[in-house]
Amino acid sequence: MNLEELKKLKEKAQRQVALREGNKKYRVVVSMGTSGIAAGARDVMKTMLDEIEKRGLDDVEVRVTGEHGLEDVEPVIRIEEAGGEETTYARLDAEKAKKIVAEHLGKGKKVENLAVGKQKKTE
């Protein structure tokens, strides 16, 4: 083992434990209430998980939550950013989810046509 090898091993291993340390740039919150699940929220989440992995996006965590209170437009996700910005996406399916991963999480660009409501700044 030398320093370079240790560094490489650390980078590889870090993904295993990073979830436990918090401080991710993006937090994706998937609404998994009864209506969300019925509308296909699990599929949306699975697609997102696969896409995030495929693209090697390390600075993202995915959580599930109960209802967002937007039953009519499920599946719904919310993306929270470290700076406090929040974006809600609604009426999602696998294809749209892929796009959000690529654009929003990958390039930091909001997918405006899928976003709903006014984006909110929380402190």
Partner 1 sequence: MIRSNVLVCGGAGCLSSGCHAVQDALKQELTKRGLDKEINIVVTGCMGPCDLGPVILVHPDGTFYQRVTALDVPALVEEHFIKGRAYAKLLPKDEVSANLITTQRDFGFFAKQEKIVLANCGLIDAENIEEYIARDGYAALGTVLTTKKPADVIAEIKLSGLRGRGGAGFPTGVKWELLAKAPATPKFLICNADEGDPGAFMNRAVLEGDPHAVLEGMIIGGYATGASRGFIYIRAEYPLAIKRLQIAIDQAYQHGLLGKNLFETDFSFDIEMRIGAGAFVCGEETALMRSIEGRRGQPSPRPPFPAQRGLWGKPTNINNVETWATVPAIIRKGANWYNQFGTEKTKGTKVFALAGKIRNTGLVEVPYGTTLRQIIFGIGGGIPGGKKFKAVQTGGPSGGVIPAEHLDTPVEYESLQKLGSIMGSGGMVVMDEDSCMVDVARFFLEFCCDESCGKCPPCRVGTKQILNILERICAGEGQMEDLDKLEQLAAVVKDASLCGLGQTAPNPVQTTLRYFRAEYEAHIKEKRCPAKVCRGLLTYTIHYDNCVGCSICARNCPTNTILKVKGQKKYYIIEDDCIQCGACLDVCKFNAILKASDGVAHVVPPKPELEPVPGRKVMVTA
Longest pairwise C-alpha distance within the chain: 57
With binding defined as CB under 8 A, does residue 102 bind partner 1?
no
Q: Which residue has the tokens 């965590």?
A: 61
How many Cα atoms within 13 Å fall on the side-chain side of residue 38? 7
Please, which residue, 5 or 72, has the CB nearer to partner 1? 5
**Residue number with CB closer to partner 1 (78 or 96):** 78
CB nearer to partner 1: pick between 49 and 73: 49
Binding mask 25-64 for partner 1 (x = CB under 8 A): --x--xxxx---x-------xx--xx-xx-------xxxx
Q: Minimum CB separation from partner 1 for residue 62, in Å?
A: 4
Of residues 59-88, those binding partner 1 (CB under 8 A): 61-66
Q: Which residue has the tokens 């436990």?
A: 20
Of residues 19, 38, 82, 116, which one binds partner 1 by CB under 8 A?
19
- Core vs surface per residue 73-109: b (16+ CB within 10 A) or e: bbbbbbbbbeeeeebbbbebebebbbbbbbebbbeee
Distances (CA, A) of 64 to 53, 111, 113: 17, 21, 23
Q: Which residues of the shown chain bind partner 1 in the complex (CB under 8 A)? A: 1-3, 6, 9-10, 12-14, 16-20, 22, 24, 27, 30-33, 37, 45-46, 49-50, 52-53, 61-66
